[in-house]
Amino acid sequence: MSAAEFGGATSPPQVVGEQDRLGDVALGAAARFSAAGKWLAYHATRPDRTASCSGTSAARIRGVELEARAALPHAFVLSVTAQSSRGRDDDDGTPLDDIAPPSMSLVTRHSLRAVSSYIRVTRFASHDAAGPSEVPTPSYCLIDAGAAWRVMPHLQVVGTLRNLLNDSYYSSAGPRWVYAPGRHGSVTAVVGF
């Protein structure tokens, strides 16, 4: 089961509300606090993390997401996002599976005519409260960048660079994890009809 199914803090909020105009800077902000209003049932797993049991238990999921976005001069946009969530078994306090560790992200976007670009820095905290079928994961930082060029109305070229710091991190919190890809990039052509 995913925290998203129960209103957990797993999807980014939309920036809503009024926007203030201060010269050439437009500011917007959003916040969301989520607490499952009802108890939920989830399937427990054995402590050795190898097989599931048929029993269910009650649990509660809570989380918070914050987002701020500012439109800056010269076609730049700056976004800051932070999220934290937790889920625990009500009976014994065991952490739940599929609860993401806290993270914070800073994204700068730029758009000018037919070219757009971004750079994103994201810090993920260590996942010490791993669920019964997960393993704890260390913290890590990712820096990604990309650019797109609309060559003509029906053709766009997109380049993406991921994990620029070549940081080693687990691809998932599953017990059979592997390291995620190191520094890598791609160039694609998008053709519209």
> What pLDDT sits at residue 133?
87
Domain count, the chain: 1
Confidence label for 10 from pLDDT (cuts 50, 70 and 90): very low
Higher-confidence position of 13 and 180: 180
Compute the average pLDDT of residues 13-33: 44
> What pLDDT sits at residue 45?
43
How crowded is residue 44: how many other Cβ atoms within 10 Å of its Cβ? 21
pLDDT tens readout for residues 52-108: 444 456 777 888 888 999 999 999 999 999 999 888 888 888 888 888 899 999 999
Domain of 83, CATH number, reads 2.40.170.20
How crowded is residue 34: how many other Cβ atoms within 10 Å of its Cβ? 20
Structural domain for 169, as ranges? 3-191
**Residue for token pair 């070229």:** 157
Predicted TM-score (pTM) of this structure: 0.70
